[in-house]
Structure 1
Amino acid sequence: MTTCRLCGSTSLAGVVDLGATPPCERFLTAEQLAEPEVTYPLHLRVCTGCWLAQIPPLITPEDTFTEYAYYSSYSASWVEHARGFVRDAADRLGLGRGSFVVEVASNDGYLLRHVVERGIRCLGVEPSQNVGRAARESGVPTLTAFLGPETGAAIRAEHGPADLVVANNVYAHIPDVIGFTRGLRALTADDGWVSIEVQHLLTLMERNQYDTIYHEHFQYYTVASARRALASGGLSLVDVESLPTHGGSIRLWARPAETAGEPGERVAALLAEEKAAGLHELSGYAEFGTRVARVRRDLLRFLVDAADRGRTVAGYGAPGKGNTLLNHCGVRPDLLPFTVDRNPYKHGRFTPGTRIPILPPERLAEERPDYVLVLPWNLRDELVGQLSYVSEWGGRLVFPIPNLEIVEVNP
């Protein structure tokens, strides 16, 4: 990759090179274990022109999202987060029965179900056929489509302009960030709002969250680079919130540029925080690779030592981030014989690259491992409660990010 996808600069500096991995959501069937597996370089770079961190678009959204393994509703805390957002957004924007809400990348209707419950007209725009079908079956109107300027204009022509457009955890997934942003603007009423949630590059780097770098995530935002990306499609950033989700996210509030007005104080405050951390200059990215290498060594040291001592380790979860971690660390079934996941879609399949079996959650109680390696560490508070039963046989939880931590849980 030699050109920034946002500003066109050819000045791109390496941040961290994670080698080559397969796409993180391409879970293998038993039959596919005997077949070759394609891997792609995973090298994060930052543009010194606009400070957008990015990886090359080596796979397309169509490769990943036409049939997708992730269903948002399997996380109770994420559904509750969505419920709170809908409540607060309705209060903030005065949304009611005469309003229209669109969510882009609406998944299985985890968020819009709360909009439906309020009697507010809504539409989900979801590219994945399987999860979009699940949304429709749950009563959430959903269009199967990828968003671009033409799709946005067509939806607006058929349904009218949206008072609120929501794009949670999708702004990083689009290689054509300018076209996607123009699609958001096309959907939005001239006096409407856009709300975007995306992981904050500041916390990703401060907390060693490198496992959220994978081929589905084409770019990684600071407030500064997000403001520039929004402007590329005719939107202006007017407010920003810091959120604990996904280890540290930002919620961007934007409006059409012609009606937006001046940004609020929280925008200036987070821009200053990023600048103080060095993320608006190259020096702030210099030590990240060293910290990533330490996470890898610590996890491997723990797993090898556990095996040498005859202790058993099982995984919990099969998230995309977990597959970056496992592949980068070179973990195979000799060190992690299996992992479990609540999503039935993944049961009987194998993690990409590392080929670790994925089993139903009940297998933990059957196998009673000494340690449970928690791969979706971003759901820590939820999972510590869910997995309290491992204490019944003296099991402990292991969190690999931001630093290796072994946790005893109470029943």
Structure 2
Amino acid sequence: MTSSTTERPAAAQAPDVTLSCRLCGSTDLRSFVDLGATPPCELFLTADALERAEATFPLHPRVCGSCLLVQLPPLIDPGETFTEYAYFSSFSSSWVEHARRFVDAAVERAGLTTDSLVVEAASNDGYLLQHVVARGIRALGVEPSVNVGEAARAKGVPTLTAFLSPDTGATVRATHGPAALVVANNVFAHIPDVAGFAQGLRAMVADDGWVSIEVQHLLTLVRLRQFDTIYHEHFQYYTVATAQRALAAGGLDLVDVELVPTHGGSIRLWARPRELGAAPGPAVAAVLAEEAAAGLDTVEGHAGFARDVSRIRNDLMRFLIDAADAGRTVVGYGAPGKGNTLLNYCGIRPDLLAYTVDRNPYKHGRFTPGTRIPIHAPERIEADRPDYVLVLPWNLREEITAQLAPVVGRWGGKLVFPIPALEVVDPVGRT
């Protein structure tokens, strides 16, 4: 956990009695970190929108004093964000490979055959289910975003355009039969109705089937100061303990957990229908003990994070201002949702970060929400030869360093990683 302080910890402040926990209903909610007010992180602006106002919403997660779920109030409507979505999973080659490895392991664990059905909630552009289809196993994606669902179908992945709810889950089961495996990767944090989503998962999975969920681990978020993964699309932030409670609300028992490195540190939860009576394995107890040792089994143990976040902001702003004063050029790499939390919280504008680039053509010619930084194709970096490249999707550090080393290495450019602490790196190892 973070270092101690003599100041009154944020997590011990008086509860915000007008709010209530979406998991247990308690009104005892305490401040975790206050990141100000920002626009929704995936609502990239077109050029003709630059002269119009943007809606902003408080970005202030709280921790529940009763069940310890860290959560944001549901200030945005998921339908407005996810009907047309700017994030396509397949633009990260390492993420596609991660999905392939997962499918290989899941086939063994769940004993999948060509007669089995695999359903993925929030299946995006078919990045994962394409590997299931390639094995000749029946697959169905449930994806609310029209544009990325179309991309999945173009890959041969059957996709239902819908948000997962108990009713959607029941319809999927009635139409396609029970699923031997239900997958929900990087979506468990994106839904405000935690219990309803878990019930939707239970509705789809066979009575002897498996549910697999990947979601960022709050323990890693705190240890590595990953505050930029807090944004309005993420309604809650899980420990294994709180995820176990959320799954139980849907009739699912947590039986196993894996720690995986994706998104800066995630947990892969394996659950089964409660009727099976499956007991948690030793890995569950081990991670619960690690969370308790870090203090995350108490409200007070969540304190100190806000102070660490402000230190990261100060260090990054000092670097950017010093670079500008010295006549050095700094541009960004990537336009992820997490990058927009960082840019808005720090108050970074085009005077300090001239532009950023992204591999996703959907974002080219658009501007980051709030900070209004232009987004270009990656080739712009080689054309301009900046002194520094600020890497916003730091969770893809290895992949991006390999991509940029032969590019910025031609003129001696350096990469800048802001989290967990400011680090300036020569990607080709020069001294």
- Superposition TM-score, scaled by structure 1 size: 0.99
Once the two structures are superposed, what CA deviation does each residue of 1:81-122 show, in whole Å capped at 9, x if it has no partner? 000000010011111101100000000000000000000001
CA distance in 1, matches of 2:302, 2:109: 37
Unpaired runs of 5+ in structure 1? Answer: none
Of 201, 205, 211, the residue aligned with 1:184 is 201
Measure the CA separation in 2 of the matches of 1:63 and 1:192.
Answer: 33
Look up the equivalent residue of 2:41 and give its one-letter code: C
Q: Secondary structure, in 3 states, of the residue corresponding to 1:387?
A: helix
User: Would you say the 8 A contact 1:254–1:260 is kept in 2?
Assistant: no
Partner of 2:333: 316
Task: State yes or no: 1:229 paired with 2:246.
Answer: yes
How far, CA to CA, are the matches of 1:230 and 1:128 in structure 2? 24
Distance 1:275 1:360 in 2: 44
Provide the residue aligned with 2:424 in structure 1: 406
User: In the alignment, what sits opposite 1:171?
Assistant: 188
TM-superposed deviation, 1:283: 2.0
Partners in 2 of 1:281 and 1:79 — Cα distance?
Answer: 37
Question: What secondary structure sits across from 1:406 in the alignment?
Answer: strand
Aligned to 2:226: 209
After superposition, the C-alpha distances for 1:65-88 in whole angstroms (9 at most, x for unaligned) are 000000000000000000000001
1:396 corresponds to which of 414, 425, 428: 414
Distance, in Å, in 2 between the alignment partners of 1:260 and 1:367 is: 61
| Corresponding residue of 1:303 | 320
Select 2:162's aligned residue among 145, 148, 170: 145
Residue deviations 1:149-184 (CA, integer Å, cap 9, x gap): 000000100000000000000000000011111000
Q: 1:279 aligns with which of 280, 296, 300?
A: 296
SS of match in other structure, 1:101: strand
SS at match of 1:90: helix
1:370 to 358, 381, 387: 387
- CA deviations 1:37-81 (Å, max 9, x no partner) are 110000010001111000000001101100000000000000000
Q: Are 1:19 and 2:36 matched, yes or no?
A: yes
Letter in 1 for 2:164: L
Which 4+ runs in 1 deviate beyond 4 A? none
Alignment counterpart, residue 89 of structure 1, candidates 87, 106, 115: 106
* Structure 1 position 304, deviation (Å): 0.2
2:43 maps to 1:34: no
2:130 paired residue among 102, 113, 118: 113
Report SS of the residue matched to 2:182. strand
Whether 2:172 is the aligned partner of 1:155: answer yes
SS at match of 2:35: strand
Cα distance in 2 between the residues matched to 1:400 and 1:391: 20
Q: State the aligned residue count.
A: 411
Counterpart in the other structure of 1:330: 347
What's the RMSD between the two structures over aligned residues? 0.7
Q: Distance in 2 between matches of 1:82 and 1:44?
A: 30
Quick one: distance in 1 between partners of 2:270 and 2:280?
Answer: 10
Q: Please say if 1:50 is aligned against 2:50.
A: no
The amino acid of 2:44's aligned partner reads F
Per-residue displacement from partner, 1:163-222 (whole Å, max 9, x unpaired)?
A: 000000000000001111100000010000000000000000100000000000000000
Identity %: 71
The answer as to whether partners of 1:238 and 1:260 remain within 8 angstroms in 2 is no
